[in-house]
Amino acid sequence: MDPVAAPPWARHLAPGVDAASVDLLQARSLPAAWAAAWAAAPHSPVVHDDGRWCTAEELEARSRAVAGRLAGAGLRAGDRAIVSAGTSLDLVVAHVAALRLGLVVVPVNGAYREREVAHVAADSDPAAAIFDDPERGAWVERAVGRPVVVTSPAVDLPDADAPELDAVGPDDGALLCYTSGTTGAPKGALLTHGNALASCEAVRLAWRWSAADRLVLALPLFHVHGLGVGLHGSLLAGGSVVLRRRFDADDVLASAREHDATLFFGVPTMYSRLAAADDVAGLERLRLCVSGSAPLPGELFDRLVAAAGVRVLERYGMTETLMNVSNPYDGERRAGTVGIPLPGVDVRLDGDADHAEQGDILVRGPNVFPGYWRRPDATAEAFAADGWFRTGDVGAFDPDGYLRIVGRSKELIISGGFNVYPREVEDVLLGHPGVVEVAVVGVPSDEWGEVVTAVVVADGPVAEAALLEHAAAQLAPYKRPRRVRFVDALPRNALGKVLRHEL
């Protein structure tokens, strides 16, 4: 390809790699690519958990056996399977088996309460529920009003022969991830196998991810950051992953040292705690540290450079698109920006091609989902007339083509890397008899990115502790308000809409 005509994302490619030769969908699906990698290096370590390594041939055999059990229980390609469990090798095997069989995995946060699980179950209409708590499986059956296959991450169902595996194509559904927009309850973003493969292949190329890499993975596996980038990407590259049940800065640094790790992916909250650790200098042994899910403060970037000589690579993605933009592996990693479009991805600012202007960020590429599950109106609203996806974020390009996120046109709060939809929290708080009005906003925080804060108009004296307890009974921990502020009235415009920016 003529260098003059090369797309912006060609800057991510290693020397000698021609952009014209890049085919993000060549393998057709992640399961097919994984199976090929396992066959090529059957004895290589792949997943470390609970003090031992699972090899490639073991992961292939165990996932094949689990796929057989799921098929024997009546599950077929295209069926949805809700998966909600703590990080473990069993969870990885069950997830891989489901994708190999052609099931659509519906990842659910293990901290969700019955109300939250019931919404996802009723909307996704699953045929199976893989939970590490049997009671939570019963929540699913109550929500759908019929029996489903309920099992643990070990999938202790009767053995059965597996049908043909790894036969899915790029257009088949892979993940149904529930996310919040500007209106209504969380909706399911249906990601295809092509979306998942294209995103992983793009970051594999951009980050020079190879079979020699080893990732310390402390991100939860119900979130696309840990699941769709960390786990899926490691398996695609033929590398290995060290699972951690939860994030602890000292544990991450010790694990990296013990296992000769080369990679760590985290959210800014994690990097804030790593920067404060006694052994923060240990990060310099890693080849690459990547941050995402929320903006990385420039001050934190500089602190990690000073303390460990690490220039964290910040990138930008979202549930509906997986990975979109990344700072370059080779070249300047520019603090305060998320970098340049990844291979295969196009990015533009709505209404103005001038990179000096800011505007709504629109993207297109094989990583972009086809639409929301059973919600044609929401899908139509999410895409521009020419097919580009509206991210809901506002950005600006600098003269060198680096994208900076300057705000969100949506009212979403991102706290600790997790999305919080204000309306959902407000509805819960309005259920308290002492609350007349409430608006939930995100307050900037160096540690969390944003802190969920409730601004309340109360009917007489109401204790903050009582409101927090009320929220805790119905919401996952990351959604609960950490602060409550009482006011006499909420600021509103002439049409009665709450002026959130004043709060």
> Can you give the pLDDT at residue 4?
56
So where are the chain's domains?
Answer: 29-168, 413-502
What would the DSSP string read from start to end of 417-445?
Answer: TEEE-HHHHHHHHTTSTTEEEEEEEEEEE
106 three-state secondary structure: strand
Residue 493 — pLDDT band, cuts 50, 70, 90? low
> Can you give the pLDDT at residue 412?
78
User: Which residues, including other chains, have CB under 8 Å from residue 418's CB and lie 6 or more apart?
Assistant: 223, 293, 478, 479
447 three-state secondary structure: coil
Query: pLDDT tens digits for 99-136?
Result: 999 999 999 999 899 999 999 999 999 999 999 998 89
Asked if pLDDT for residue 494 goes beyond 60, the answer is no
> Can you give the pLDDT at residue 299?
87
> Can you give the pLDDT at residue 353?
46
In the chain, the N- to C-terminal Cα span, in Å, equals 52
In 10 A of CB 71, how many CB atoms? Answer: 21
> What backbone torsions phi and psi does residue 113 show, to the nearest 5 degrees?
-90, 175
CATH hierarchy code of domain 413-502: 3.30.300.30
* Overall size of the chain counted in residues: 503
CATH hierarchy code of domain 29-168: 3.40.50.980
In 10 A of CB 145, how many CB atoms? Answer: 8
Which structure tokens are listed for 231? Answer: 């786990």
- Between CA 109 and CA 248 the distance in angstroms is 19
Query: pLDDT tens digits for 132-170?
Result: 998 898 999 999 999 999 999 999 999 999 999 999 999
Query: pLDDT tens digits for 331-371?
Result: 999 999 999 999 999 999 986 444 447 889 999 999 999 99
Chain CA centroid to CA 11, Å: 25
- Between CA 296 and CA 272 the distance in angstroms is 9
324 three-state secondary structure: strand
Query: pLDDT tens digits for 43-57?
Result: 999 999 999 999 999
> Can you give the pLDDT at residue 496?
54
- Between CA 465 and CA 461 the distance in angstroms is 12
> Can you give the pLDDT at residue 497?
64
How far are the Cα atoms of 49, 72, 179, 266, 337 from residue 131, in angstroms, in the given order? 19, 19, 20, 25, 38
In 10 A of CB 291, how many CB atoms? Answer: 26
H helices of 179-297, in order, are 193-206, 232-237, 249-258, 268-275
Which residues sit opposite 443 in a β-bridge?
Answer: 451
> Can you give the pLDDT at residue 355?
46
Q: Angle CA(329)–CA(334)–CA(340) in degrees, nearest 5?
A: 60
Q: Position of tokens 């800057």?
A: 11
- Between CA 234 and CA 231 the distance in angstroms is 5
Query: pLDDT tens digits for 405-446?
Result: 987 776 778 899 888 878 788 889 988 999 988 999 999 888
CB distance 296 to 271 below 8 Å = yes
Q: Quick one: what percent of the chain has pLDDT higher than 70?
A: 95
Query: Looking at residues 13-27, what average pLDDT do you find?
Result: 96
- Between CA 387 and CA 355 the distance in angstroms is 21
